[in-house]
Amino acid sequence: MSQYTCCELQNSTSWGTKKQSLVTQSSQAAELVAMTTGVDAARFVQLLATELGVKNPEPIEVYTDNQPAIDLIHRDGDSKRARALNIRIHRLRELQQQKLIEVKYLSTDQMPADALTKQLNSAAFEKHIKTLTAQ
């Protein structure tokens, strides 16, 4: 499952949960698929806001709780283990090099998008929902 939330001016403007179209064999690969889904949604929201005259800060901050995925995006060259993902990896690298996105680490217990797909205790769920709804 891929989940993402897009926030604009500290408000959730887009969110989603989607079954991944690609079967992956590692959490790193699954995270890369989820990141590209989220980045595509965030870029759409950003471009739409620009068309409506809203100034957008760049780059888009992309948060993940998977350090190996971040390392793969920052490393040059292809990944032999992630050959099927190389197009996604190159797309994320290219967007980062163009300073359109910035991939950052966020610990699992701080990840608000987890409220969309994971079974959480009530305190964690309420905390993430407050973050997503800017309360």
pLDDT (tens digit per residue) in 6-39 = 666 565 666 666 666 666 767 788 888 888 888 8
pLDDT in tens, 34-89: 888 888 888 888 888 888 888 776 788 888 888 988 998 888 766 666 666 788 88
Q: How confident is residue 93, by pLDDT bands cut at 50, 70 and 90?
A: very high
Length of the chain counted residue by residue: 135
Is the separation of the CB atoms in 4 and 37 below 8 Å?
Answer: yes
Distance between the two ends of the chain, CA-based, in angstroms? 26
| Gap between the Cα atoms of 131 and 135, Å rounded | 7
Q: Which burial class, exposed, middle or buried, applies to 120 when counting CB atoms under 10 A from its CB (0-12, 13-18, 19+)?
A: middle
Q: Give 3-state DSSP helix, strand, coil % of the chain, rounded to 5.
A: 50, 20, 30
Using the structure block, give the residue that is written with the tokens 């990944």: 79
